[in-house]
Structure 1
Amino acid sequence: MGNSRIIESNQTGLHDNLESTVRRHLAHPFRAPYADHSLALFDALKAWKEADGRPLVLDSCCGVGESTANLARRHPEAIVLGLDKSAARVEKHDHYKAESDNYRVVRGNLNDLWRLMVADGWAPTHHYLLYPNPWPKSSHLQRRWHGGPLFPSLLALGGQLELRSNWRLYLEEFQAALALAGHKGEFAPLPDAAPLTPFERKYGESGQPLHRLVCDLTKKS
């Protein structure tokens, strides 16, 4: 059995400021300047995507990229892009590398890259957010993806969105945020398959309940 800590929070339900925070971000787009290194990386990724020509799948916050390699096997008809801000995690990917030519694992700043993708009209068929940092303290609402200024960009990317977490409240908040934006997120059982990520394996072996939220962002509810 694994040994992983259960998430503890001073929240017992949806954050009191969730609705006002989400509505504020939906009404006021994030306009921070792009970093030069993000612009250079985006140009390289765009060249890769256009040279290949297959549909795109995003694996955001991919960590060491085990999930990206697994998703590349799951989506052989597509190219899969794994993105994570941590160089230390991305540099460990060789341990999980798959013999496949349809994916990349890259260090990148999602605050810039999601916005650049939206501005350039990227339309991933699927977008995975697997076990993102839950930021469980109540004071950290705006560090969660659904409570932050990048939430509108995530929505604008579209596609089939899938989130997984061992903290159900995170997904309940995300579901509520989706509803405020006119989308319907639904809880669904995890597929009966091997874990996609190291976290999923560790939490599962520790006996923690794992939760999955899916949403078709191409539709409005």
Structure 2
Amino acid sequence: MNNTESSGNSKAIITNQPGIHEKLAEIVNKHIAHPSQKPIQTHTQAAFDEINNIVQAFAGEVILDSCCGVGQSTRLLAKANPNALVIGVDKSAHRINRNVDEIERQDGQGYVSNYHLIRADLNDFFRLVVAAKWPVSKHYILYPNPWPKAKHIQRRWHGSAVFPELMAIGKEIILRSNWRLYLQEFQQAATMLDVFGELTPVQQQQALTPFEAKYQASGQQCWQLALRR
């Protein structure tokens, strides 16, 4: 669920939705009451089984980077957390397989190896992670596709059927977006599962993702929602 990439001339989000979606609570309550029963896709099950063996054999901190795109954020998180196992997941094989090795060489300290990039459908992957009881400390969702039209509310993560499982992953859940309303909705939906946190501006710093760099170059304010159990 990532935005379409482009260079640093990003346009601001345009939406026909003036505030928090009027049906947000109804949608979230429906998904809490009726968990998804959709069959797990074969390719996602296979990808999960492979990485699950690595996770179960690892004794340290696990960090999940959902919607990781080309994996820049996964690599940077791995570099910043050398004792952690960092797992980036994206639905697009094209994005994951793109060569962004230059990110690993920026500080002249060589490559990092404590991360894995996985191609999988997160709607299935989240459910498998919960069932396997992964010990995730931090769960990142950076710049998800905003789906700004009001009629597409259920395509946003907080409006999706897998939202309760998503919220069960990680002691801390960190989202970033250039559309504040997306994070405000997510924050409100999270309170329905007794998870709370704060919404703050992202300070100018090394961009975690190509989207963040693009938004910074365009002069847009980015926002971070940090939720803790």
Structure 1 and Structure 2 fold alike (TM over 0.5): yes
| Structure 2 match to 1:49 | 55
Note if contact 2:55-2:134 (Cα within 8 Å) is conserved in structure 1. no
Amino acid at match of 2:158: H
Q: Which runs of 5+ in 2 are unaligned?
A: 1-6, 105-110
| Structure 1 match to 2:190 | 178
| Structure 1 match to 2:30 | 24
| Structure 1 match to 2:71 | 65
Shift of 1:97: 5.7
What is the CA–CA distance in structure 2 between the aligned matches of 1:49 and 1:192, rounded to whole Å? 33
4+ long deviations beyond 3 Å: 93-97
Note if contact 1:131-1:199 (Cα within 8 Å) is conserved in structure 2. yes
How many residue pairs match? The answer is: 217
Are residues 146 and 93 of structure 1, via their aligned partners in 2, closer, same or farther at CA, if it must alter by over 3 Å?
farther
Report whether the alignment pairs 1:136 with 2:148. yes
Please report the TM-score for the alignment, with normalisation by the length of structure 1. Answer: 0.93
Note if contact 1:93-1:105 (Cα within 8 Å) is conserved in structure 2. no
Report whether the alignment pairs 1:169 with 2:181. yes
| Structure 1 match to 2:97 | 91
Between 1:49-58 and 1:27-36, the stretch displaced more is 49-58
| Structure 2 match to 1:204 | 216
Report whether the alignment pairs 1:157 with 2:169. yes
What is the CA–CA distance in structure 1 between the aligned matches of 2:28 and 2:199, rounded to whole Å? 20
Q: Percent of pairs identical after alignment?
A: 47
Cα RMSD of the aligned pairs, angstroms, is 1.5
Report whether the alignment pairs 1:5 with 2:11. yes
Amino acid at match of 2:52: K
Q: Kindly provide the CA deviation profile for residues 40-96 of structure 1, in whole angstroms up to 9, marking residues without a partner as x.
A: 111100112233332210000000010000110121120100000011111114445
Amino acid at match of 2:128: L
Which of 132, 135, 147 is residue 159 of structure 2 equivalent to?
147
